Structure 1
Amino acid sequence: WSLAILGPGFFVGSWWLLSAAPLAAAVTHYRVVAGEERFLSERFGDEYESYRRTVRRWLWPLRR
């Protein structure tokens, strides 16, 4: 969602949309991704935990 907000924000020069992008990214990171990781961990157990340790969540390193 944050990229979908950034594009129009830059196109129309809307500071409101540009300022909403970090909020959308934070919501995605803490609500959606965290929920999906919990679900996958419950479903696949140790196999998923091993995968998580070897693969980055995003393109750049963030704390888990």
Structure 2
Amino acid sequence: MSNQDHPGIYIPVPLFYIAFFFFSYLLQSAAPFDFEILHTQAARIVGWIFLVAGIAHIIPAWVQFIRSCNTVVTIRPARTLQTNGVYAFSRNPMYIGFYFLYLGFALLYGNLWTFIVMPVLALIINLYVIKREEAYLRRKFGHEYKNYKKNVRRWL
């Protein structure tokens, strides 16, 4: 990893979730794979709950970034380390929110492929995004980040 003043993530993170969702849609078109429970009213209700939960994670995290004059653009330098608000409970509330949105839409559209490809999405987010962000934050904020990481979980 170089000493560049950003994590080196050149693809906007939400695009990963969107791309995987559309990839699963294409898989469903090419090789339909249905699971009846995904086409029930209960699945739709749970889908809406996940959508609301996703928004409830993303908006406060985004607002916190804006208020602290920080950036969510991963090719720009971080100005501050986010450690309070929603970041006091999770180091990645936006990514959790994106997963919740992904699950919500998967349930609303009733596409089993969306769940099947989700582990690959999680692996890419962990290896390409989070590992790079953590290495960058460790370089940029040193001991402060190390303490934060020790006290706050990566996910929930």
Q: TM (normalized to structure 1)?
A: 0.72
User: Alignment partner for residue 31 of structure 1, among 128, 134, 143?
Assistant: 128
- The alignment's C-alpha RMSD in Å is 1.6
Name stretches of at least 5 consecutive residues in structure 2 with no aligned partner.
Answer: 1-16, 18-98
Query: Alpha-carbon deviations, 1:6-64, whole Å to 9, x = none?
Result: 333322322222211221112112220110000000011111111111111110xxxxx
Aligned residue for 1:17? 114
After the TM superposition, which of the residue ranges 10-19 and 31-40 deviates more from structure 2? 10-19
- RCO higher in structure (CA 8 A, sep ≥6): 2
Aligned residue for 1:6? 103
Detail structure 1 runs of 4+ shifted over 4 Å in the superposition.
none
Count of residue pairs the alignment pairs up: 59
Please give the alpha-carbon distance, in whole angstroms, between the structure 2 residues aligned to 1:19 and 1:4. Answer: 16
**Deviation for aligned residue 1:5:** 3.6
Sequence identity (%): 34
User: Alignment partner for residue 152 of structure 2, among 49, 55, 61?
Assistant: 55
Which of 1 and 2 has greater Rg? 2
Name stretches of at least 5 consecutive residues in structure 1 with no aligned partner.
Answer: 60-64
Please give the alpha-carbon distance, in whole angstroms, between the structure 1 residues aligned to 2:102 and 2:125. Answer: 13
Aligned residue for 1:62? none
Please give the alpha-carbon distance, in whole angstroms, between the structure 2 residues aligned to 1:22 and 1:3. Answer: 14
Q: TM (normalized to structure 2)?
A: 0.34
